[in-house]
Amino acid sequence: MSAEIFTQEWPLPTRRKNELKLRQLRVLHKTQIGSFYRICFTGDDLQGFNSHSFDDHIKLFFPDAENGELLLPEISDQGVVWPEGKRPQSRDYTPLTWDAAANTLTIDFFIHPGGLASGWAEKAQPGDPLVIGGPRGSFCMPLDYVFQLYLCDESSLPALNRRLTEIQAAQPDAEIHVMIMADETQSRAYLPSLAGVTCHFLPAGDVDAARYALRQLTIPQQGYFLWLTGEGARVKALLDDLIGERQINENYLRGVAYWHQK
């Protein structure tokens, strides 16, 4: 690895604040990609929508399963103000792609039994309404790190999908490592081309296997960025190892709990 890596000042991630706005959309069309439903939405409210980071989250508000009613808050100078009574159920999702010219937004829903969003996506038909909010803020990670690691499970595969697409277009020479705690066949069927990417498929939910794989990985002293997502307790355990044992600089380490084991 070039000595220039150790003398260069590597850019830090930045944060961008976005306008807080609720947008009423409708389903345009739906397809299935591997173990995901890919749903394309449209609507006049998409005007001005933006998502600056693959790590962004938007909040999806779902209609009541029994009566189809959707209670929504108002946006005021004080922030989000909910009406009295029952709040609608909501979930956080990654905006996969959006096209301002075509006025469309695409979101991928992981298919699994018992999930609120998955159940809605399974039944979704063209014309069905959905309300989204956000992204409220973006944590923007530059693409030019020479060594990049992305560790995730099924819940964060859409974010990984978006990031790999960005890297392949802008930084094809970067050393990219991906560790996926999910079924290999289904993950490969869903993700874009993994050519040039070093892939490690790990048993789902096995934090010890992930810990071992990380310990075998040679990480340079500088010029790296590490992104770990998935179940909250597992992410925290791996972050603690990287900071405590590997002395990874926290400025170049991002850990996000996409869900929590009940």
Of the given ranges (20-24, 128-132, 169-173), which has the lowest mean pLDDT? 169-173
Same domain, 58 and 102: yes
Cα distance between the two ends of the chain = 44
Phi, psi of 103 (to 5 degrees): 60, 50
What does the pLDDT read at residue 15?
Answer: 95
Last residue of a domain, one of 105, 135, 165: 135
Last residue of a domain, one of 89, 110, 135: 135
Domain that holds residue 53: 19-135
Q: How many domains does the chain have?
A: 2
pLDDT beyond 60 at 6 = no
Phi, psi of 189 (to 5 degrees): -65, -25
Residue appearing with tokens 């079924």: 183
Query: Tokens for 135?
Result: 């992204």
Same domain, 242 and 193: yes
What does the pLDDT read at residue 3?
Answer: 45
Same domain, 112 and 179: no
Same domain, 90 and 153: no
Same domain, 145 and 207: yes
Same domain, 66 and 146: no
67-77 pLDDT tens trace? 777 777 777 77
DSSP type of residue 126 = T
Same domain, 87 and 157: no
Q: Which residues, at least 6 apart from 76, have a Cβ–Cβ distance to it below 8 Å?
A: none
Same domain, 167 and 128: no
Q: Report the mean per-residue pLDDT for the chain.
A: 91
Q: Is 65 helix (H, G, I), strand (E, B) or coil?
A: coil
Q: Mean pLDDT across the stretch 37-41?
A: 98
What does the pLDDT read at residue 1?
Answer: 47
Same domain, 126 and 147: no
Same domain, 215 and 190: yes
pLDDT beyond 70 at 58 = yes
CA-based nearest residue to 224, from 254, 257, 193, 258:
254
Same domain, 131 and 145: no
Last residue of a domain, one of 135, 169, 201: 135
CATH number for position 147: 3.40.50.80
Same domain, 131 and 26: yes
Distance of alpha carbon 179 from alpha carbon 3, whole angstroms:
27
CATH number for position 56: 2.40.30.10
